[in-house]
Structure 1
Amino acid sequence: MAEPDSVQPYVVLILSGKRKAGKDYIANRLLRKFGEEIATIIHLSGPLKSEYARLFSLDYDRLLSADTYKETYREDMIAWGEQKRRDDPGYFCRLATASPWVVGKKVWIICDARRQSDLQYFAAYPHVIRIRVRADDATRTKRGFEFIAGIDDAESECGLDAVTDWDYVLDNSDGKDKDIDTEIDKLISYVDEQADSVGDADIP
């Protein structure tokens, strides 16, 4: 269970999705739409990777990137992180939201929720919108996805597959008739509508 700080975010946007579905891309587009003065992207995997890099003398910045360096260590890093979560399910969520650049931001964009414990942690905050980012297999493959046993069938990728009551589902598949800017505009409109429904003003 989360223990929110006295300074609450206005809204928490939680993004979930499979590898290569485009979660980071959507998170960055949302950040551009809302503006860095009021919004911030929070990587729940950031504290995990930071600590893992420190313990094993690895390049933290490259672990955050999308290149092959991260893939080399992904399986071992996942196993290490799972043990930490078994000891304390909210451990990495607390570390991620305690970062100095998070304080005072009105919009939190959680770009990599992967487990039920992540959703449960943020359920303590007053205004949360859970978003599933989807992309078809052809699109994911085009972006470099290749099934890896022990990763793509593990909880880190499958922990939220059974969730059916997402607040919003965004299709990030490639397609000539797909305009991702329009899809993101629809998502932002949805966020504003939800805020209005509970009596709050629009997000600036």
Structure 2
Amino acid sequence: MQNEIPTLIVLLNGKRKSGKDFLAELLNKRYRQEMIVWGERMRAVDNGYFCRLALEMAGADRYPVWIVSDTRRRTDISWFREKYGDRVKTIQVKANLTTRELRGFVFTKGVDDAESECDLDGVTGWDLTVVNNGDPRPLDEAVDTVTAWCTPGRSA
């Protein structure tokens, strides 16, 4: 039992707004650098490892539409496109630095300038780009577009 992975599973509980997410974020900050290094080692061996793992964990094969909320690398997009072809649509969500800072963003060297945050910066050709600086209309339009993608015979 000593070398079993995972070695620890932390389950947080609390009422809404009790601070569960805040505590989880503090814990994640402590281990983020180590997770990035480990993730890079795994991707060097198998660039689809985390894509497959996420799909498996979500039980994705039970659902007709998949929303992957945190695509971080060109290899992620390539893996999905190679496996699923034109069923894949890409959306880039952008917010200016001021808006991100108002939402709590503080630049952390070694994290925010790492490949996991920057690899998709130069990518063009997104199926949709959404500017999310506080105006709800672009988000509403994005929902309408994705709904149209999901509805046969409708175009967006």
Using structure 1 for the length normalisation, give the TM-score: 0.61
8 Å contact 2:132–2:139 — kept in the other structure?
no
Matched, 1:165 2:120: no
Where do 1:1-204 residues align within 5 Å?
Answer: 54-57=5-8, 59=10, 65=21, 67-99=25-57, 101-123=59-81, 124-125=83-84, 126-174=86-134, 178=135, 180=136, 182-194=137-149, 200-201=152-153
- What is the alpha-carbon distance in structure 1 between the residues aligned to residue 52 and residue 12 of structure 2? 21
Q: Point out where structure 1 has 5 or more consecutive residues left out of the alignment.
A: 1-53
8 Å contact 2:95–2:133 — kept in the other structure?
yes
Q: Which amino acid aligns with 2:77?
A: L
**Larger CA Rg, structure 1 vs 2:** 2
8 Å contact 1:195–1:201 — kept in the other structure?
no
The structure in which a higher percent of residues are strand is 1
Using structure 2 for the length normalisation, give the TM-score: 0.78
Runs (4+) off by over 6 Å: none
- Structure with the bigger RCO (C-alpha within 8 Å, sep 6+) is 1
- Local SS of the residue matching 1:132: strand
8 Å contact 2:93–2:129 — kept in the other structure?
yes
- Local SS of the residue matching 1:133: strand
Q: Point out where structure 2 has 5 or more consecutive residues left out of the alignment.
A: 14-20
Q: CA deviation at 1:172?
A: 1.2
